[in-house]
Amino acid sequence: MARIAWYGAGMMGSGFVEALCLRGDEVAVWNRTPEKARALERFGAKAYDDPRDAARGAERVHIILSDDGAVDGLLERLAGAIEPGSLVIAHTTVAPRPTAARFERSDRLGLEFLHAPVFMGPQSCREGTGMMMCSGPVARFERAEDELKKMTGKLWYVGERTDKAATLKLVGNQMLFFIVAGLADSYALARSMDIMPAEAYELFGHFKPGGAVDARGKSMSEGNFKAAFELTMARKDARLMLETAAAGNVPLHVLPAIAQRFDELIAAGHGAQDMGVLAVDSMTARK
């Protein structure tokens, strides 16, 4: 049984704390809104109003707050309260550059810091499913590995580069945003022809667009734009989509920007290449 200090009792933090308590760990929990921390006492956690009190004697410190400012502000308040040699593991989705700076500050303070953002929802936090990434010094990760594995379905150590997990977390969330936005425009296109979203959803039970990540996604990541679906033909289809939606008086919000980018690339001479040439700029982006 470990003594753990947990900071953040939102939906995901609460799920993690509940699971830790059920596994028999001693959990001290703090939240900016004390009532949320106290609500977790029914699972066996002990709530603290002062974050420094929660940290005392902890073998591990876990942080899942709202943003960079909240994490940095908490770490400042905890200066000197965390036991030397304790692991400090932040799960918050944050920006890459502040994360790298956070590692540097933690090193100067003697804190064993790791960043471990997650692709998990509240229920998967309770059940130990979903996915967690982790970046930071390998020796620290190895200390935390067994316990982190208990918290998630898949644990992926992405290496010692301190800002890598933060970057990949944003990349993953951005893809989720695009998928949701694409679904919204697709349902709108269907609705323009009096096909309801529930009917359009049936299509994805037969046609699996997610397969494009495995197929075209790999080629795009390698800068291979050999045509399987020529950009000029994709632009023609985009025109048909826009015209169909307009005739039905249904606005599309994402596709117009995609069509504009198609036009720019065709004008630049990429029309005969695969539509994956949308990624051409990423091949020369600053590393």
Enumerate domains of the chain plus CATH numbers: 3-161 (3.40.50.720), 168-283 (1.10.1040.10)
Q: Is the pLDDT of residue 27 over 50?
A: yes
Q: What is the pTM of this model?
A: 0.94
Over residues 169-177, the mean pLDDT reads 97
Average pLDDT over residues 44-50: 98
Mean pLDDT of 260-272: 98
- Across the range 71-77, mean pLDDT stands at 95
Predicted confidence (pLDDT) at residue 137 exceeds the cutoff of 80:
yes
∠ CA(260), CA(263), CA(267), 5° rounding? 145
How would residue 146 be classed by pLDDT, with cut points 50, 70 and 90?
A: very high
Query: What pLDDT was estimated at residue 285?
Result: 55
Reported as a single tens digit per residue, the pLDDT across 104-121 is: 999 988 889 999 999 999
Helix (H) or strand (E) holding 236: helix 231-247
Alpha helices in 83-163 (DSSP H): 96-109, 122-127, 138-151
Q: How many residues does the chain have?
A: 287
pLDDT at 287: 47
- The arithmetic mean of pLDDT across residues 144-152, rounded, is 97
